[in-house]
Structure 1
Amino acid sequence: MSNFARVRPIGRRRDGRPIYPIKGGAPTLLEQRDEIAALLADPDYDGDIDELLARADDVHAKIEQANKRGARLRALKAAQLPAGDPPPQGGGQQRREQPGMQPDDRGNPGPVTVAEAFVRSAALEHFRDNGKQGKFAVEHRAAPAGTVTTGTQPQQNTRVPGILPQNPDFPLLVANLLDRQTSDGTTLEYMRDTSGPQSTWNKAAVVAEGADKPMSGPFAFDLITTTLKTVAHWVPITRQAADDNGQLMGYINGRLTYGLEYKMDQEILTGNGTTEMQGILTTPGIGTYQPPVGSTDVKLITVRKAKTQGELALYPPTAVVMNPMDWQDIELDEDQNGQFRVIANVTDPGAPTRLWGLTVVTTVAMAAGTALLGGFRTGATLWERQGITILMTDSHADYFTANTLVILAERRANVAVHTPQAFVKITFAAATA
């Protein structure tokens, strides 16, 4: 018997000759994976299939084990003691908690903002390890959404009554008032109800026994075909700042995400529906209310009368959106005794922003002197193709030589205003001397 151990072939060529490993250098797991994958895909391979499949399972298991080991290592490095606990024994200094590594309010380890998702991503870690060269993207959705496909019109949505509670760290957005769904494609088709007030088509009546029943109608629907619109912008950031999770999160949350959210609100309200998203205020068929000429109604009263108009259309309003200047006038409205009518205690920072039972959203995206009142979840749906996607790259003009990177944020969405009668546009009367 030979003193040399038999070298086992790691595969076979198409002509049947065995393939032996390179002397002095064992193949890596990735090399073994690629080699086995090539053999499995080779229709002319005539080696031992059972042995090849066993090797594939073995390499797959080792790769999975390596991934789990890496994940456990990262989790261990990110682990922190609860506040107030003593540092670990042995004189070691407790590791400072890094930005973006905090659990959410339920104790879950997953990120709760797009910035946290970005700084925690394996893509960013790889980008840094690679000398911050190339380009990568990270997508994040604030909340999971079911996938709904569209044919000639969207499937009927499950509508949740009321308004979702707002994030305590951010103001309530117009987008939060709408029903939100996910689109699988780039073209959006939906049916818009143009039947008019329910009093014109609702023929329901008490019918005597044996008599003919009345038919309601006529109904009118327009098939609206549009596309999802991309909202995006970017900011430069130095390579040094890109190594700091705190600065990265500040750029993403403080500038990029805020900019996208503000523009989204603006588009939901006033988008032209062609080159831009479909705005509710620019949709034909919404109701309007303006105090009659010579009226002395203050804005507080105007909103109440517009609410009645929405209720008479049989679409109960749930919220009103207005400019901060108009909301200021309403909050500062006083009675004859000099008491504020809307807020009794101005020192209470947690006072709810509500008026006549309606949730109030204030935004500079709404022009002063105008407000939008309506049943937002009943009247419109925000369709989103993707959540906020953050991209980082060093490939932009002369930024490479200036040690500067680019962070870009984008999202794709559009609004389907399928029931215009659910909304009332309010025009406040001009102030009188």
Structure 2
Amino acid sequence: MGNFAKVRPIGRRRDGRPIYPIKGGAPTLLEQRDAIVAQLQDPNFDGDMDELLQRADEIAAQIEQAQQRDARLRQLQALTPPGDPQPHVGGQRRQEPGMQPDDRGEPHPVTAAEAFVRSAALEAFRSNGKQGKFAVEHRAAPAGTVTTGTQPQQNTRVPGIIPQNPDFPLLVASLLDRQTSDGTTLEYMRDTSGPQSTWNKAAVVAEGADKPMSGPFTFDLITTTLKTVAHWVPITRQAADDNGQLMGYINGRLTYGLEYKMDREILTGNGTTQMQGILTTPGIGSYQQAAGDPEAVPTDPKLITLRKAKTQGELALYPPDAVVMNPLDWQDVELDTDANGQFRVITSVTDSGAPMRIWGLTVVTSVAMTAGTALLGGFRTGATLWERQGVTILMTDSHADYFTANTLVILAERRANVAVHTPAAFVRVNFARATA
């Protein structure tokens, strides 16, 4: 007789007789799993329990191995080697812009542009001849559409003090703690008590003696509204069919434009028709070199002025974590040299990608900051950026005579405002010496 592989049963009947796979077809892992599950759930099973449990462990291991193999396969297919000229990866079509998978191989939108180009709304808009109007918001939100007319809005009241965490931002908005608002009205308590050193009366007391009372504490209830920041650009119907161009418009012009305007609002907004700016908030500190004889007391270099301003923030018991400067002022700091012509701040001018830092502070440069001044402070301690709406992208052909010109409109907007709840955490810096 020839050698035949032993065929293992995939299950057993109620009377204990084995069930063998159909001739010519091997049982799948799913079939084997279901058969073993049925036997484990059968209270009348009188077969070899040890063998059944061993088989259950084997099937579980095989299923887990298959899952790991599938995950590795999807992750490998998502990778593109540098310079790969092939249009396909792993036998599948390469993902177009906006379809990049995450580290587990699962596709997810990373930016507002990616969420927009992969949305079902854009696909429907294109298939409908690019007529009408639609919007896509890049932020997880509850299903359904809720308006102020269909559901009363609750004011967002900010509790407590926001903890401080280090950050390495590229924009001023990234320095702040960021939270989500549920309504259109923002209420928060602004601490107007001033520096902690003025009201903190904590002391060691003798046994039986009266304990000191700290204070006075003063708070103002600030009520404001979330502001809408928006702008739009025209785009041809042909460009709207190209995902690469569409993402370039959204990321390169619209989204960046919103962030640029947000930076200006966070710094200098008037707090009424605009967002609340930190520099326009009453109660922030200030530092400027004292007046003196210009012949006897030269003006401090800007890096020295920043160090003294940092000390002022520390004495107020609100340690600074960052400073916002005009690019011209940061240029002066980086180009400052000693008597031997050596740069004081940077050691190598070739390392342009190094993080911008001075005296342990993260540096953010912005043209929204007036040259000759700077804003130094504990940004996460002193303010919170509240956002009601993420970046929302809208597209329509219903604008002026654009329909007949084969031109569409892409609009981007977001709603947010800044709660400056601890003004004493900030120090406005003036690099010029005060006049007598």
TM-score after normalising by structure 1 = 0.74
For residues 115-150 of structure 1, what are the alpha-carbon distances to aligned partners after superposition, in whole Å with 9 as ceiling and x for unaligned?
A: 111111111111101111111111114999xxxx97
Partners in 2 of 1:85 and 1:397 — Cα distance?
43
Q: How far is 1:348 from its partner?
A: 1.3
Q: Is the 8 A contact 1:272 1:278 kept in 2?
A: yes
Partners in 2 of 1:276 and 1:239 — Cα distance?
34
Secondary structure of 2:413's counterpart equals: strand
Partners in 1 of 2:177 and 2:141 — Cα distance?
13
CA RMSD of superposed structures (Å): 2.8
Secondary structure of 2:157's counterpart equals: coil
Partners in 2 of 1:175 and 1:287 — Cα distance?
20
* Counterpart selection for 2:126 from 100, 125, 128: 128
Q: Is the 8 A contact 1:118 1:124 kept in 2?
A: yes
Distance 1:188 1:121, change over 3 A: same
Matched, 1:221 2:219: yes
Structural mapping, 1:113-262, within 5 Å: 113-141=111-139, 153-156=157-160, 159=163, 161-163=165-167, 165-166=168-169, 172-262=170-260
Q: Is the 8 A contact 1:123 1:138 kept in 2?
A: yes
- The aligned residue for residue 323 of structure 1 is 326
Amino acid at match of 2:427: V
Amino acid at match of 1:426: V
For residues 230-271 of structure 1, what are the alpha-carbon distances to aligned partners after superposition, in whole Å with 9 as ceiling and x for unaligned?
A: 000000001111000011011001100111000000000000
Distance 1:308 1:81, change over 3 A: closer
Structure 2 gaps, min length 5: 1-73, 143-152
Matched, 1:401 2:404: yes
Secondary structure of 1:196's counterpart equals: coil
Amino acid at match of 1:156: G
Amino acid at match of 2:390: G
Structural mapping, 1:51-90, within 5 Å: 82-83=80-81
TM-score after normalising by structure 2 = 0.74
Partners in 2 of 1:196 and 1:87 — Cα distance?
62
Q: Is the 8 A contact 1:114 1:142 kept in 2?
A: no
- The aligned residue for residue 56 of structure 1 is none
- The aligned residue for residue 373 of structure 1 is 376
Q: Is the 8 A contact 2:78 2:105 kept in 1?
A: no
Structure 1 gaps, min length 5: 1-75, 167-171
Distance 1:314 1:160, change over 3 A: closer
Secondary structure of 2:252's counterpart equals: helix
Amino acid at match of 1:217: G
Q: How far is 1:181 from its partner?
A: 0.4
Moved more, 269-278 or 345-354: 345-354
Q: Is the 8 A contact 2:197 2:317 kept in 1?
A: no
Larger Rg: 2
Partners in 2 of 1:143 and 1:116 — Cα distance?
17
Distance 1:213 1:246, change over 3 A: same
Amino acid at match of 1:266: R
Secondary structure of 1:153's counterpart equals: strand
Structural mapping, 1:281-296, within 5 Å: 281-293=279-291, 294=294, 295-296=298-299
Q: How far is 1:82 from its partner?
A: 4.3
Distance 1:310 1:160, change over 3 A: closer
Percent identity for Structure 1 against Structure 2 = 81
Q: Is the 8 A contact 1:306 1:373 kept in 2?
A: yes
